Structure 1
């Protein structure tokens, strides 16, 4: 009789073999998980740095030449109480303004609030939306 035919379901030999196979699977799964963690961590660190270097144009391309009202809406250039567009802010500056109450660089408090209101209104597909959305992600 060969060794395989000697095994019967529930025998010690079969249980030992399945336990070894189960341990092997767990070890392989652990190795795969460790590799994933080592691969993802640098990517997260890199994405955190790139978020701070991204930029948000105010206003975006289709609205170039328009002004920003205090509530963040787009109005015709020269509208009373509006602020000129054509500004580009770095993600880091926007993050500081959103979280720390600081003004955006090169703007007065009122201008900064209008531009922040515009940025908060950004929607998917608009220039600067991805940058703004990534600033909202918890780290």
Structure 2
């Protein structure tokens, strides 16, 4: 028996009516209308999210050129930024190969490499994962 078919009292199969098809279409359209604003709101909050560099557990440590967290004062490493990086800035820098606002090329690359190495459970990982989804 067809999933869309409705058995009648005499066990013959009826085709879905035009009215039933219109009702199903209306339900589908309502779903789309309610999902789109939620997606737009999610994208907006992702772009405003923060990524601390480094995470609070390693505060005060420096970031090496390859994105690793190293002891403060390590030669060739960079002091952490004065504030967390914004999701929008990270997305833009990763997408266009540009620098993070306010940082030179080497420092931007080091911070971006740190961000790309974030693991689940590390502060900023959810923001970075969300930014990655928006890039695609």
Cross-structure match for 2:112: 116
Separation in structure 1 between the aligned mates of residue 49 and residue 97 of structure 2, nearest angstrom: 20
Report the structure, 1 or 2, having the larger helix content.
1
Structure 2 runs not aligned, ≥5 long:
1-8
User: Does residue 128 of structure 1 match 2:124?
Assistant: yes
In the alignment, structure 1 residue 49 sits paired with structure 2 residue 44? yes
Alignment counterpart, residue 26 of structure 1, candidates 6, 13, 21: 21
5+ residue gaps, structure 1, are 1-6
User: Runs of 4 or more off by more than 6 Å in structure 1?
Assistant: none
CA distance in 1, matches of 2:11, 2:103: 79
Determine helix, strand or coil for the equivalent of 2:51. Answer: strand
Q: Which residue of 2 aligns with 1:75?
A: 70
TM-score normalised by structure 2 residue count: 0.83
Match of 2:87 in 1: 91
What do you get for the CA RMSD once the two structures are aligned?
1.8
Aligned to 1:100: 96
Question: What is the CA–CA distance in structure 1 between the aligned matches of 2:101 and 2:11, rounded to whole Å?
Answer: 75
> TM-score normalised to the size of structure 1?
0.81
Cα 1:64–1:8 change in 2 (3 A) is closer
Partner Cα distance (2:129, 2:76) in 1: 28
Alignment length (residue pairs): 125
- Structure 1 residue 106: deviation in Å? 1.9
Distance apart, 1:31 and its partner CA: 2.2
